Amino acid sequence: MKSEKISDAVVRRLPVYLRYLNELSRREVPTVSSQELGQKLDLNPAQIRKDLAYFGDFGRKGIGYDVSYLIEKIRQILNLDQQINVALVGAGNLGQALSNYNAYLKDNMKIVAIFDTSAEKIGTQINSITVQPIEELVDTVRRNHVRIGIITVPNIEAQRVADQLVEAGIGAILNFAPTILKVPSDVRVHAADFTTDLMSLAYYLNAGKEVTVDES
């Protein structure tokens, strides 16, 4: 089922598909075409068919994709059929904002622990989770089988936090600090720095009008 050659770009689109499919499921829509997915998600339908074909032969000509079946398959592919515990390191504005998203994290994926160095924050509750001192990170992460760490500490603390997460056996890090982390090759890091998002958007400010007319 799971190919070794799936690009990061494809993997990043799967949760976007899943989100819209979940919406369709709530509205009890039984099937969806790649055209409709493409229109809704601003993606080329051929791209969508190609993305989903990586994982198996899901679609049926003239009918489209079975929504429930596709949800189940994408959840399996993304390992979302397993319990995935997440730890958040840094309880500042950003950390607090991110913990609010726990409500959107479906199913088995949840922020289960929050850490900070500040005496004012330690012991307070954020969305029902008690902020723990960073000294408890390694032990708590191990005990709760946390598999993903989110880093929202200042730049200068980010590498040290990453080292502790790695020591505790984490498999992936979502890094909001605008710095490049050094981790072993079996730990996956995604940079969530929004300044790079903003800068890449700037590219389209001039290019946008010429490009979008001719495409798709």
Task: Name 210's bridge partners.
Answer: none
Taking a C-beta distance cutoff of 8 angstroms, is the pair 62, 69 a contact?
A: no
Beta-bridge partners for 175: 151, 191
Answer yes or no whether residue 127 interacts with a copy of itself by CB under 8 A: no
Q: Is 123 known as a binding-site position?
A: no
What is the nearest approach in angstroms of a copy of itself to the Cβ of residue 193? 8
Q: Is 114 exposed, middle or buried (0-12, 13-18, 19+ CB in 10 A)?
A: buried
CB of 96 to a copy of itself, least distance (A): 5
Query: Which residues make Cβ contacts (< 8 Å) with residue 127, sequence separation at least 6?
Result: 99, 100, 102, 111
Among 112, 147, 162, 166, binds a copy of itself (CB under 8 A): 147
Give the binding range for a copy of itself (CB under 8 A) out of 27-35, 45-53, 104-112, 131-139. 104-112
Please report how close the Cβ of residue 68 comes to a copy of itself at its closest, in angstroms. Answer: 18
61 or 205, CB closer to a copy of itself?
205
208 sits near a copy of itself (criterion: CB under 8 A)? yes
**Residue 178 to residues 33, 81, 136: CA-CA distances in angstroms?**
39, 31, 25
User: Token digits for 197?
Assistant: 């998002």
DSSP β-bridge partners for residue 60: 64
Q: Does 50 bind a copy of itself (CB under 8 A)?
A: no
CA dihedral 148, 18, 8, 146 (to 10 degrees): 10
Among 84, 112, 134, 158, binds a copy of itself (CB under 8 A): 84
Consult the annotation and say whether 137 binds a ligand.
Answer: no
Annotated binding site for NAD(+): 90-95
Interacting residue ranges for a copy of itself, rule: CB under 8 A? 2, 4, 8-9, 11-12, 14-16, 18-20, 40-42, 77-80, 84, 86, 92-94, 96-98, 100-101, 104-105, 109, 147-148, 150, 152, 171-174, 178, 180, 185-192, 194-212, 214
